[in-house]
Amino acid sequence: MKSFYKIIHTSSRILWGNREERILCESLWMKENGHQVAVVAPGNSPLFENAKQNGLQVYPMSFKSLVRIGEYAQLKQIFAGEHPFVVNAHGRGDAKLALKAAQTTGVPCRIMSRHNGERVKNTWPNKKIYKTRCHYVFTTSKDSTAHLKQIFSLSDMQIFSIPDGIVMPDIAAAPEGTDRTAQTAARQELANTLELETGVRFIGIFGKIDPQDIQQLCRTADQLSRHFPCHHLLIAGTHENQYPMDEKAAPRVHMLPLTKENDAGFYQALDCCVYFPNPQNFYQGVPWEVTKAMAYFCPVIGPDTPGIRDILINYKTGRVFNPGQPGSLPGIIRWILNTPRAVQPLVQAAQDLVKKHYAMDAMGKDILRIYRLRQAKIDRQFQTSAYEITPV
């Protein structure tokens, strides 16, 4: 018998990043599959507005310390009225209130989601969250899972790595020498957008780009131009997350904001892509940019860092570089562009891995499996107590 769940997500952030996009995408997937979902978040946050616009039930909550007592009472009222099977907290700011209120009101399945890999200290408040208030911990990488297991002595049945899921594109690999009409058209459209000449080709750049990276990219573009005069470097992302640059001083390096409207054509237009890690935090999950590129059969070059290692295996699903030695990048890029036959098995293996473990359906099914695991445990406890003999 198929079970349908009522799920409430909580978040205290007023930003829009991978965490918030994960919450929204997961919620919409659950809604499409028959489950009821509500979101508790600050009323002025992008997550609140996006959830509301997509037809999800929303509750405004600031999670600020000055109104903590009143909002704790509100949360208890929400949980008592809604009777959710799941409450999933997505950060320490909301978990302190939401998981405590969920525990007090008897919510059957309480989850703490950890979206980045920054190290967590073994403090008393953190122990309360990870050991007492929740039943399960979700992470987005194996590294985060191993770290939290060690810090809080969590068992394999208490913590799970469930990476962010993406919607798989409906495309097939185009081996070298076969028709690549779609890629050619995507390249030309991108060239037109950037007002570049016909025939230009692109290498995508993702991640956190700082001044040092800009200098390295300019040197890389200059070195590549000697062997690949048609190739330009294209930095993808929002301007808020990238360091300003003078494109006149670097005519072969460009910046283009990446949106849901243009990302399909963007990935198809690339001959390969490079992901730069955040130098302040190497501990992270697998970025959506990496899995999306792999889903579009785009060769990926990434840093040998935690999280990225989950999916990027050197010479098997892509190529890796030492983040402390980015000077090796031109040589790796030349290898990818010069050896298409050697690259073809890599991109196929990468796409297969993404489809199996990083697709939206895979993420949703993994989460539902844990909900059912919790439901089965509760049912067994109920059946055991029902057959117990009460002493007279």
Between 288 and 24, the higher pLDDT residue? 24
Residues in the chain: 392
Residue 239: Cβ within 10 Å count: 11
What residue spans in the chain does CATH classification 3.40.50.2000 cover? 6-165+364-387, 181-357
Q: Is CATH 3.40.1260.10 the classification given to domain 181-357? A: no
Rounded Cα–Cα distance for residues 13 and 5 (Å) = 25
pLDDT higher than threshold 90 for residue 229: yes
pLDDT value of position 240: 47
The answer to whether 114 and 281 have CB atoms below 8 angstroms apart is no
pLDDT value of position 281: 67
* Unique residue bearing structure tokens 């959506």: 288
The answer to whether 234 and 252 have CB atoms below 8 angstroms apart is no
User: How does residue 300 score in pLDDT terms, banded at 50, 70 and 90?
Assistant: very high
Rounded Cα–Cα distance for residues 358 and 286 (Å) = 9
Mean pLDDT across the chain? 89
pLDDT higher than threshold 70 for residue 241: no
Rounded Cα–Cα distance for residues 24 and 5 (Å) = 17
DSSP 313-366: -BTTTBEEE-TT-GGGHHHHHHHHHH-HHHHHHHHHHHHHHHHHHTBHHHHHHH
C-alpha closest to that of 74 among 8, 124, 132, 25: 8
Phi, psi of 122 (to 5 degrees): -85, 65
Phi, psi of 245 (to 5 degrees): -140, 155
Between 257 and 347, the higher pLDDT residue? 347
Proportion of the chain above pLDDT 90, given as a percent: 68
User: How does residue 255 score in pLDDT terms, banded at 50, 70 and 90?
Assistant: confident
Structure confidence by residue, pLDDT tens digits, 335-366 = 999 999 999 999 999 999 999 999 999 999 99
pLDDT value of position 248: 60
- Distances from the Cα of 276 to the Cα of 125, 261, 282, 311, 368, angstroms: 34, 23, 10, 15, 33
Average pLDDT on 109-138 reads: 95
The answer to whether 236 and 206 have CB atoms below 8 angstroms apart is yes
User: How does residue 176 score in pLDDT terms, banded at 50, 70 and 90?
Assistant: low
pLDDT higher than threshold 80 for residue 189: yes
Question: What's the CATH code, domain 6-165+364-387?
Answer: 3.40.50.2000
pLDDT value of position 238: 55
Average pLDDT on 146-151 reads: 95
Structure confidence by residue, pLDDT tens digits, 265-287 = 889 999 999 998 876 666 677 88
Average pLDDT on 174-183 reads: 64
DSSP 122-166: --HHHHIIIIII-SEEEESSHHHHHHHHHHHT--TTTEEE-PPPB
The answer to whether 203 and 271 have CB atoms below 8 angstroms apart is yes
Structure confidence by residue, pLDDT tens digits, 44-66 = 999 999 999 999 999 999 999 88
The answer to whether 298 and 347 have CB atoms below 8 angstroms apart is yes
pLDDT value of position 273: 95
